[in-house]
Amino acid sequence: MFKFLSGLFSRDIGIDLGSANIVVYVKGKGITIDEPSVLAVRKVGSKGKKEVIAFGHPAKRMIGKTPLGIETVRPLQHGVIADFDMTEQMVGHYMSGANQKRRLLAHPRVAICVPACVTEVEKRAVVDATLGAGAREAFVVEEPLAAALGTGLPINEPRGNMVVDIGGGTSEVAVLSLGGVVISNSLRTAGDDFDNAIIAMMRQNYTLSIGDSTAEEVKFNIGSVIPLDEELEMEVKGRDLMDGLPKVVRVSSAEVREAIEPIILRIEDMLRYAVEQTPPELVKDIVDQGLVLTGGSSQLRGLSTRFSEVMNVPVHMAEQPLYSVAIGLGKLLETVDRGDKIAVTVDHSTV
């Protein structure tokens, strides 16, 4: 559904509700919140009731370290809501955090992003969670559209703009022209699966059991998708699965690369398929202008070089890959204020 959004947003916020991170943009202020999408909860009573004891960074630090009765929850998995109640609480927490000093914004209007691949039911769940968390109105914006706007692509021109977003739970590619998505594809696999592949590799090669946070650390420190001039190494600590005792092993970047290779190949297939579906006139623009790569996982060593070789087009890295979507939402909120008209696909719901 195409709509002209002029005047729809007055004092509002944009939320990039990601599987790994939640980023909040407050109109007139910019990005005010950037926290992991994690909660820590304590079970209260025998009826399975849960009380939230930490949100965001403090909760992420607890992953894999909680005592009995406390657990950490990641309410969004692969870009969609896995735990509705926890999503609602998290959105409510950060929405009130974003509005602390402005009481007028107690019930803001919210532009919120969902991956292009979600079903209507999944989209509705995001809207319901946002309304349930206290929003007056909720506008769903397609994530690739916000990402493309956020990276500065001229999406309103009659030109093929290709954006690739590799996040925590989803990988997406979209071609946009004249303010709309021409084609989009997505995979429910991304950064989290790189971590899982590293956990599986450590198990298989070293009978070493490691947690999610350690796997992510290995990915940050020595993860790569092309051979490096100087291969990297690091010590990884965990529990030996054979005797149950602590163990330290040295792991190389080549091993990590091999572990994540199957996921990279799937993402590359998705990109090739997207080009196959794109009308030739727009492909011509992509050949000339290249594609823009964004999302937290786009920072994996060598990813832009590799995509450039595979796709045979220039690849430009977004300046702030973790913020592109939130910046794009912000641009939507700010631009409409100036009376400019931007054609975007939105779904609009009110309490």
Ligand X SMILES: Nc1ncnc2c1ncn2[C@@H]1O[C@H](COP(=O)(O)OP(=O)(O)OP(=O)(O)O)[C@@H](O)[C@H]1O
- Which of residues 56, 144, 167, 238 is near Mg ion by CB under 5 A? 167
Give the range of 100-108, 185-193, 227-235, 259-267 binding ligand X by CB under 6 A: 185-193
State the minimum distance, in angstroms, from the CB of residue 15 to ligand X.
11
Q: Which residue from 152, 7, 147, 22 is spatially nearest to 79, judged by alpha carbons?
A: 22
Pick the binder of ligand X from 27, 123, 219, 306 (CB under 6 A).
219
Residue 100: C-alpha distances to residues 23, 31, 103, 146 (Å): 16, 14, 7, 25
Task: Give the residue among 170, 152, 158 at the shortest CA–CA distance from 76.
Answer: 170
d(CA 92, CA 86): 10
Distance CA 348, CA 351 (A): 10
Residue 223 binds to ligand X (criterion: CB under 6 A): yes
Among 12, 13, 18, 151, binds Mg ion (CB under 5 A): 18
Per CB under 6 A, the segment of 102-110, 154-162, 218-226, 255-263 that binds ligand X is: 218-226
Q: Determine which residue in the list 88, 137, 192, 285 makes contact with ligand X, applying CB under 6 A.
A: 192
Rounded CA gap, 200 and 188, in Å?
19
Q: Least CB distance from residue 196 to ligand X, whole Å? A: 11
Does 190 engage in binding with ligand X (CB under 6 A)? yes
Q: Based on the shown chain and the rule CB under 6 A, indicate whether residue 108 belongs to the binding site for ligand X.
A: no
Is 150 an interacting residue with respect to ligand X (CB under 6 A)? no
Build a one-symbol-per-residue string for 112-151: x at contacts with Mg ion by CB under 5 A, - elsewhere: ----------------------------------------
Nearer to ligand X by Cβ, of 27 and 219: the residue is: 219
The yes or no reply on residue 179 touching Mg ion (CB under 5 A) is: no
300: closest CA among 255, 266, 260, 327? 260
Instruction: Decide which of Mg ion, ligand X, none touches 19; Cβ closer than 5 to 8 Å per partner kind.
Output: ligand X
Strand-pairing partners, residue 343, are 4
Binding mask 7-46 for ligand X (x = CB under 6 A): -----------xxxx-------------------------
Interacting stretch for ligand X, rule CB under 6 A, among 98-106, 164-172, 177-185, 227-235?
A: 164-172
Q: Which stretch binds Mg ion (CB under 5 A): 15-23, 62-70, 88-96, 198-206?
A: 15-23
Q: Considering CB distances under 5 to 8 angstroms, the limit depending on partner class, which of Mg ion, ligand X, none binds residue 322?
A: ligand X
Contact 263, 182 (CB under 8 A): no
